[in-house]
Amino acid sequence: MIPNIELFGRTISPYLIFALLGIFTVLPVSYFMAKKKGLDEIEMLIMMLCSFGGVVVFSHLLYAFTVPDTVVRVFSNLDKIKDFDGFMYAFGLILGGSVFYGGLIGAIFVFAVYTKARKLSFGDYSDIGAMMIPLFHFFGRLGCFTAGCCYGVEWEHGIVYEHSILESANHVARFPVQLVEAVLNLMLFFLLFYLYKRGKATHKILLLYLLIYPVYRFILEFFRGDTYRGFVGFMSTSQFISVILFTISAVVLIVQGIRKRKA
């Protein structure tokens, strides 16, 4: 939707701009929320930054699982890689894309490892960290919309891309599924924030996020027009993961509720 920006001799994608906006929004918000809660705000910042590292690594790793044919083709032709440029090209084919759910799993994994290593309360810190996920994702989906990735199905009343990073998205009116998800992510952030402030979901904010987000993500996948994201049977990769995360979260919340009643 928006072409790349040339700044100081460097090419900057609109997606990167929105991703940075997301980072520079959630960092101060999580800092002040941790401080107000009486938690260590510096530890909060550090684990958020570490989690962003988990997002980058795991989102690209999951992408590799969505393109198994490409992975097999690259490894079958390793002997043809003669220089660094060839290596980087092959590396880009396998890990050049990213999948949100991979980043989410990576962030949660890093968050859990960090809190355990530092002997911090995962429940206390994850309540704040979980709220930052849909807030950051709001900016991420705005970035997707401007870059033209994760585009929607053809729709006569939709948006026509001229400068999408994916040629398959251009010159066709498409449903703005990225904007719909961005709005839903922002609404989810405010819902979780409300529950957090009212003290109605202490140590359950992450579980509630993993219960709610997969529902509308599963539905929105039907409105996605990009087929490169991979499929597991009749479901897209994200729909398959949505079902798993929803089921796990529902089971954990039900078990916790039963135990609370018995206690």
pLDDT reading at 60 higher than 80: yes
pLDDT reading at 3 higher than 60: no
Predicted local distance difference test score (pLDDT) of residue 91: 62
Predicted local distance difference test score (pLDDT) of residue 164: 76
Cβ contact 204:187 at 8 Å: no
Predicted local distance difference test score (pLDDT) of residue 200: 86
Compute the mean pLDDT over every residue in the chain, rounded to the nearest whole number: 88
pLDDT, one tens digit per residue, over 219-239 is: 999 999 887 667 777 899 899
